[in-house]
Structure 1
Amino acid sequence: MIENERKSRETICGEVINNPNSVFNVLAPSEKEELKSNMTCSFFKKGEYIYKEGERPIGLICLSEGKVKIFKEGVGGREQIVRMAKPIGFIGYRALFAEENNIASAVAIEDSITCTVSYDLILKLLRSNAELALSIIRSLSTELGFSNNRTITLTQKHIRGRLAESLLFLRDTYGFEEDEATIKVYLSREDIANLSNMTTSNAIRTLSTFASEGVIAIDGRKIKILDKVRLDRISKLG
């Protein structure tokens, strides 16, 4: 049983390293082997914390499977979702490279698996492999650009524009189910509100309005986009 679990963990970490979308794909075979042998694999149930605000980062965390929300707790305990992660993305990297405590928390929104690399090993690889350093810089720069755009969205757009943008963001991040219309992530109304910087009641009302206008269809937590062009227009008009 232990041997089977060990092999399973090795397979998971190997898939993270060799995935075409992974920044680690640029490593030499010997570096990949060193990385794989030093990775730790962790399993999280839906709703479990991967890390908490105020904690010290344990290493570079790569999401192998599942979906994760990164959020900061605001005034009155209200959450503000600042990022949504999908495989094979990094989480918790800002605090790690800044050598600071986490300023946000990460929670699995479905059963998830992470692979973690120690900070010392990442620094060693970055110093010896310029391609890896450039790959990680590109990844961080992409995230920074996204964060800047989200800041503008959440501060300048009206409620309809913010919610439309959030639905499009979820679509672009997680894609569609086989019907090519249902967004492949099922968030609570509260999470949708926290992603869109609005109250839960406003999120519920706006979703209902979109549904009555024929822009989307709602079935519990499942949201189907019926009119992609109009949803995009609502998002752009703000």
Structure 2
Amino acid sequence: MKENQAICSSCSNENCFIKKHIHLPNMQSYIEKKHSFSCKKTQQFIIEGAPIQGLYFVQKGKVKTVKTGINGREQIVRFTTNGDTVGFRGFGTSNRYLIGAYALEDTVLCNFNNEVMMDILKNIPEFTYDMMLFYAEELNKSENNIRKIAHMNVRERVIDTLLYIHRKFGQTNDLINLDLSRKEIADFAGTTEEQVTRVISSLKREELIKTVGKKIGLHQINKMQSEIMEHKYI
């Protein structure tokens, strides 16, 4: 990892917790204590089980967070991009990270260590209130994901995953702006690489999607949404 000078005042990520609260009294003194660095594609910057080193905020790039499941298999639990927060699982309640995190492309991260984050939470109520709402929303998403795995069949879970990454990262030239292997799609959808490959082949035959190498483009978003509409998770 390489040191990087990410400047909060000129950051364009209006959804970032730090940027949203930069105007508050005393916030600047905490911002001056942050540490910024860059990661190369595939580089791991959080190791599951390692001592917590505060929270990370994605200044620019894409990240996947993972958790080890049965037989040591990594399950992707979240994708993050510009302005998103990483490493919040277990923060404040555990001494060690409950997840691991990898850069999906060259990524710039801002880190606020444990001491700084605790001081912010204790001394800036508006920040703490927004963080509480963020945790509540993430809990709701986690509960929905559990229900999806229980109620959706494999095809529906793959469709749901493709719609999610389309919403999250957008599409350029009819292709989603994220390079994911079939295994990574499977690790997020809670299935196997072979099943993902079969579903993607079926969706291509039905002309709902197209593929160019690893990249996938969604052609018939409305039809894909209607297929999982009964689950009401779109």
Per the normalisation by structure 2, the TM-score is 0.90
The yes-or-no answer on 1:128 pairing with 2:127 is no
In structure 1, the residue matched to 2:41 is 46
Provide, for residues 154-201 of structure 1, a one-character-per-residue CA deviation record: whole Å limited to 9, x for no partner: 221001100000001101111121x3x321111011101111111101
The yes-or-no answer on 1:103 pairing with 2:95 is no
The yes-or-no answer on 1:86 pairing with 2:81 is yes
In structure 2, the residue matched to 1:9 is 5
Alpha-carbon contact 1:80-1:195 (below 8 Å) kept: yes
The yes-or-no answer on 1:153 pairing with 2:166 is no
Alpha-carbon contact 1:193-1:203 (below 8 Å) kept: yes
Q: Which amino acid aligns with 1:39?
A: K
In structure 2, the residue matched to 1:23 is 17
**C-alpha distance in 2, partners of 1:121/1:195?**
32
CA displacement at 1:32 relative to structure 2: 3.4
The yes-or-no answer on 1:215 pairing with 2:211 is no
**C-alpha distance in 2, partners of 1:89/1:95?**
17
**C-alpha distance in 1, partners of 2:13/2:151?**
37
* CA RMSD across the alignment: 1.9
**C-alpha distance in 1, partners of 2:228/2:187?**
17
Query: What secondary structure, in the 3-state scheme, does the structure 1 residue paired with 2:56 have?
Result: strand
**C-alpha distance in 2, partners of 1:141/1:158?**
27
Query: What secondary structure, in the 3-state scheme, does the structure 2 residue paired with 1:94 have?
Result: coil
CA displacement at 1:31 relative to structure 2: 2.6
**C-alpha distance in 2, partners of 1:49/1:101?**
16
CA displacement at 1:26 relative to structure 2: 2.5
Query: What secondary structure, in the 3-state scheme, does the structure 1 residue paired with 2:111 have?
Result: strand
Q: Which amino acid aligns with 1:236?
A: M
How many positions carry a matched residue from both structures?
229
The yes-or-no answer on 1:165 pairing with 2:178 is no
**C-alpha distance in 2, partners of 1:74/1:135?**
31
Per the normalisation by structure 1, the TM-score is 0.89
Alpha-carbon contact 1:47-1:108 (below 8 Å) kept: yes
**C-alpha distance in 1, partners of 2:202/2:86?**
34
CA displacement at 1:10 relative to structure 2: 4.4
Moved over 4 A (4+): none
Provide, for residues 80-102 of structure 1, a one-character-per-residue CA deviation record: whole Å limited to 9, x for no partner: 11111112111111222213311
Q: Which amino acid aligns with 1:134?
A: Y
In structure 1, the residue matched to 2:226 is 233
**C-alpha distance in 2, partners of 1:84/1:15?**
24
The yes-or-no answer on 1:204 pairing with 2:200 is no
**C-alpha distance in 2, partners of 1:145/1:15?**
32
Query: What secondary structure, in the 3-state scheme, does the structure 2 residue paired with 1:87 have?
Result: coil
**C-alpha distance in 2, partners of 1:34/1:210?**
52
Q: Which amino acid aligns with 1:97?
A: G
**C-alpha distance in 2, partners of 1:29/1:157?**
44
In structure 2, the residue matched to 1:191 is 184
Alpha-carbon contact 1:10-1:36 (below 8 Å) kept: no
**C-alpha distance in 1, partners of 2:148/2:119?**
38
The yes-or-no answer on 1:63 pairing with 2:63 is no
Query: What secondary structure, in the 3-state scheme, does the structure 2 residue paired with 1:102 have?
Result: coil
Alpha-carbon contact 1:67-1:86 (below 8 Å) kept: yes
Which is richer in helix? 1
